[in-house]
Structure 1
């Protein structure tokens, strides 16, 4: 592309982003302060996550005034090639002078971008964003070993949803029955609409459009999928049957694909696009983890409800999904590593085993404990003792208490508190 063509696109994109930020109600994202601090100290930050989760706005707000911002998911840049990157930099210099920050939005659209970013990282503060977890698994991961930080951005948390609704959690709000009642009412709305910014702004109708774009563009087009109808059925099945165990062979029989490797690839494509996450069964033996059935959880509660094949999804499963996503979100936003497993043996199941900083925390999720206390708490205690832990957590819709049995302390926490003020770490 010619420098003059690139200039027109850069100016247009800047005007569009400035107008969007002025026009829309922008909520400060939870990792925003940390992102600003990290990128201000230099280096390369990769913001990854599902399409339409707010990566562009976060990168725009975090990158200061003297920036080169370019979104490569723009049809006007369809002819842009790796050889044009230097022209891009020169175009920005001619327009606004030497940039301090460089933001390359959806940069994976350009083949060969890795070498340019690696070179930029030596002299500029760089943010790259992408809708595929493969962004850092190729050459860039080799070039930038030890020189970059990555963040997975999720749709709005419940706390961010409250801010968007204009509801501020004042100091001591948990002691106000009126405030708690209002939070629970908004939680009902959040579990229905989810956290995609467009869904929160304009309604659930946008969820189907977001889902279609992810499947059609980020998965089928990018990976040149042959069995398109089978992948659509597979995706819809997994999005609707989250928290249930599955095997690749069983999925293959459901959608009519005999090759287990193809099914495994298709599930990995869904995961790479951040549409869903796989959860392995807990075991101290790596081989047992690989060979055991797995579970999946969609990236958003609203998206899961929209795609559910059931008119009224089980309340306990929706709460379970909200808990899983909050755990994933907090690990990502605190820039700490961790893993989530589930536990199943011949005596029962525990929904999650959180592994973080060398510690394990068993977590059970149920709508209510009435009549289930012995079973739910009993499983937690049994598993905690087998793992050598003295803590456990139960998340319900409204129950709240502290239970200590056999030397194991169990916090029973309502979902509204878990999503706002409770720290499980």
Structure 2
């Protein structure tokens, strides 16, 4: 077992700091949130109480209060200065944020040093609870999909295996059984994430449409498609606003993102066609008919896997990394990804073979003279090294000044 950065950050806040904010650990399924909470419970020097709301009646009005009272009692019975309360899958309880607010504020008023950690599988948890009732009372720690370095350390996967199978440690057992691996990813991750992290948390009038949008978007990862073109492939697609909303929901569940076009013009930015990007390459691979041995023998198809792996790496790092990921295209000129913040911008072109520096990179620099570019892969910065590094290092080291 390895310790992820999320655990290290959580332990530092709980063990070394006084009670100040509720700590919220969130991220996609199977990324190690519960494991991090259990590691905290084992390592902390403070009394702790940990419970999971997964099997609790969603309408229970007493469950949160009962857990809170149990944790408070630990301070009294053990003569401790503080204790830790950890509640997993908290979003399963209806009106959970109001109940948490009431108990947190009561402890604040009474000077009770009870430190609280909440865990949830979807960013919808933030949108439908934390920001409504708990503003100013919480901090977040995002737990992203597993990186190449972590998968290599944990399961000793090769670069090619990571690009093809993605970053789900629990699925590594099935690498040698292609059909079983596909079934496992589709049922344990995709279906569960859609049903429990989207449909149970928000109103979706056309759930079948949302599922079809995921399948189309994951199949076309790394490609730019207009919403009107997507509508042509879907029955009962509704309007563009509905599709855009459903794509946002898939994004919050850690499944599929729609990258926007890089442009200083905000209006054009938000009206641009999305570039689909799975957040874990397993989500793309599970929709394909090529197994591992067949895929790596087809250079053109393999190039899609490579580009998607780089995109997923960039996007996962961006969620709490303080930068954005976009794409750039004008006519026939394109740069695969652009990472940028208020100070720097860096165009990234991914090549698994063939030519190196492209016309797209050249014209990107002409369009944005202060930007810089980086070629990743063939004749450029080594792909393996790039997937092991924090993209912000590249942005701040070689990125061009925005102004």
CA distance in 1: counterparts of 2:26 and 2:237, whole angstroms: 33
Structure 1 residues 373 and 195: CA distance shift in structure 2, 3 A: closer
**Which aligned pairs between 1:347-366 and structure 2 lie closer than 5 A?**
347-366=332-351
Determine whether 1:303 maps to 2:283: yes
**Which aligned pairs between 1:193-204 and structure 2 lie closer than 5 A?**
193-201=165-173, 203=175, 204=181
Query: Alignment partner for residue 369 of structure 2, among 388, 393, 397?
Result: 388
SS in 2 for 1:274: coil
Query: Alignment partner for residue 291 of structure 1, among 253, 261, 271?
Result: 271
Determine whether 1:269 maps to 2:249: yes
CA distance in 2: counterparts of 1:331 and 1:272, whole angstroms: 14
For structure 2, the residue ranges without an aligned partner over 5 or more in a row are: 176-180, 396-403
The two structures have a TM-score, normalised by structure 1, of: 0.77
Query: Alignment partner for residue 142 of structure 2, among 129, 136, 152?
Result: 152
Query: Alignment partner for residue 236 of structure 1, among 215, 225, 233?
Result: 215
Query: Alignment partner for residue 37 of structure 1, among 9, 12, 30?
Result: 12
Paired residues in the alignment total: 361
Please report how far the alpha carbon of residue 341 of structure 1 lies from its aligned counterpart in structure 2 after TM superposition.
0.8
How big is the alpha-carbon RMSD for the aligned residues of Structure 1 and Structure 2?
Answer: 2.7
Structure 2 partner of 1:340: 325
SS in 1 for 2:51: strand
Query: Alignment partner for residue 226 of structure 2, among 244, 247, 252?
Result: 247
The two structures have a TM-score, normalised by structure 2, of: 0.80
1:59-118 Cα shifts (integer Å, max 9, x gaps)? 222352522212111x2x125624432222223455785762222211111111113333
Q: Is the 8 A contact 2:26 2:142 kept in 1?
A: yes
1:104-156 Cα shifts (integer Å, max 9, x gaps)? 21111111111333343744322222122121223422444444322322221
SS in 2 for 1:255: coil
CA distance in 2: counterparts of 1:142 and 1:256, whole angstroms: 35
Structure 1 residues 146 and 90: CA distance shift in structure 2, 3 A: closer
CA distance in 2: counterparts of 1:385 and 1:36, whole angstroms: 47
CA distance in 2: counterparts of 1:351 and 1:392, whole angstroms: 11
Structure 1 residues 146 and 228: CA distance shift in structure 2, 3 A: closer
Structure 2 partner of 1:120: 104
SS in 1 for 2:346: strand
1:377-418 Cα shifts (integer Å, max 9, x gaps)? x4223313432335321111xx35xxxxxxxxxxx2121111
Q: Is the 8 A contact 2:24 2:140 kept in 1?
A: yes
Determine whether 1:60 maps to 2:38: yes
